[in-house]
Amino acid sequence: MSTKSRNYFLDNYKALLILLVVTGHFIEPCHTNNAFLEALKWIIFSFHMPAFIFISGFFSKKDMGFEKLIQKLVIPYFVYEFLYYFLYVFIIHKETGLYLNRPKFSLWYLMALFFWRVLTPYVRKIPGNMFIAFTAGLLVGFTELGNFFSIPRTLVFYPFFLAGYYFQESWFEALRRHWKALTFGLSAFVALFLGLTALSGTELTTFIFYGRYSYQDMNMPGIEGLLVRAGCYAISFLALFALCAFIPRKQHFFSVLGVRTMPIYLFHGMIYSALKETPLLKSINTPGETALLLVSCVALTFLLAGNLPTRFVNAVSSVQVSLPRLPKLPGSFKRPTRPGSFPFLTRFKKGMAP
């Protein structure tokens, strides 16, 4: 019996993305200290989460039962929320509360992924659903929802999940063949985007790619906020597609990182949250310190892909869930033998016949 070979291209792509997630967070406190870190942060945040979510959508084509979603996403969300709470309160002494409707740090992704997986089987039946997803992502910027149930991020990033959901594996090869056009288009669009924002006097920060902040929070309360977000959509899609040409297709030593993204994603945030409260990350400035930080990010990524973090994550997501089923009412209605035919109506109609 033949089995389908593993797609190492996607493993390698996820490996790169999870490394960029870790690096992007750890350079956050010091990215303004030198030009290299500033540029690196702009590059990472312009596409790393959109690409990550795009691949999540690609792997979500098979519908998952509600109980399975509770097991794989909701229970882990609660467990890690409690872990973050104890970390904040008892270790780093950060004032916070157990706000289960406002995800801490990177846990917004688990909450958003749950909503995406629950809603997509219904959304896909709506004509023009991709246009609706883009429209919702643009319009939510006019609201002030904050981090409530991670609604802004859920809506802003949903087009990437939906695009991945519809994407076919064979299309990756087409992207690889057209990498020159994609790279040129990305470069030209970035130049145009930056030129127009400079002429308009709009001051941009990497917050424009976060998906969390409203246009008011980013000092773009009017139509310029919507246009900037639309530009971000274009940049992110072009970048994640263009990068496909440069990802290795074969298995490498780093491919394991793409298989074990979840323990890396969940635990690096706890380590970062603890270090962020110290002056260590904020003081990084020189080329040597910058290089040491980047090497440390790579080492930490491999460390968190080890067996112990992976076993813990797998154990948390393996808790069996059995939702109660509603009992059948006595004398419940029986399905007719022919769809649309009701015996009592047939007899009624016969009695009415002339």
Q: What is the pLDDT of residues 60-71, one digit of tens each?
A: 998 888 899 999
Binned at pLDDT 50, 70 and 90, residue 350 comes out as: very low
Q: At what angle do helices 223-242 and 151-166 cross, to 10 degrees?
A: 40
Tens of pLDDT, residues 145-162: 888 999 999 999 999 999
Report whether pLDDT(122) > 80: yes
- State the amino acid at position 293 in one-letter form: L
Mean pLDDT along residues 314-322: 86
pLDDT for 334 equals: 46
DSSP state of 326: P
pLDDT, one tens digit per residue, over 157-185 is: 999 999 999 999 989 988 888 888 889 88
Mean pLDDT throughout 54-58? Answer: 96
Q: How many CA atoms lie within 13 A of 134 on its CB side?
A: 12
Both tokens of 309, joined, read: 């973090």
What is the per-residue pLDDT for 129? 97
Where b means 16+ CB within 10 Å and e means fewer, 247-282 reads: beeeeeebbebbebbbbbbbbbbbbbbebbeeeebe
Position 136 confidence tier, pLDDT thresholds 50, 70, 90? very high
Arithmetic mean of pLDDT, 277-287: 94
CA distance linking residue 302 with residue 256, whole number of Å: 9
Query: What are the extents of the domains in the chain?
Result: 8-322
Using the predicted structure, report yes or no on whether residue 18 has a pLDDT greater than 80: yes
pLDDT value at 213 more than 50:
yes
Separation between Cα atoms, residue 139 and residue 218, nearest integer Å: 15
Between 332 and 315, residue with greater pLDDT:
315
Return the structure tokens found at 245. Answer: 């040409």
Q: How many residues does the chain have?
A: 354
First and final C-alpha spacing in the chain? 65
pLDDT given at position 329: 43
Is residue 94 over pLDDT 90? Answer: no
- State the average pLDDT over residues 118-143: 96
305-325: average pLDDT: 87
Residues 283-294 have pLDDT tens digits of 999 999 999 999
* Of 102 and 157, more confident: 157
| Per-residue pLDDT, 324 | 66
Residue 282's Cβ-side half-sphere holds a number of Cα atoms within 13 Å equal to 7
The yes-or-no verdict on residue 343 having pLDDT over 70 is: no
Q: Classify residue 27 by burial, with Cβ atoms within 10 Å: 0-12, 13-18, 19+.
A: buried
pLDDT value at residue 223: 92
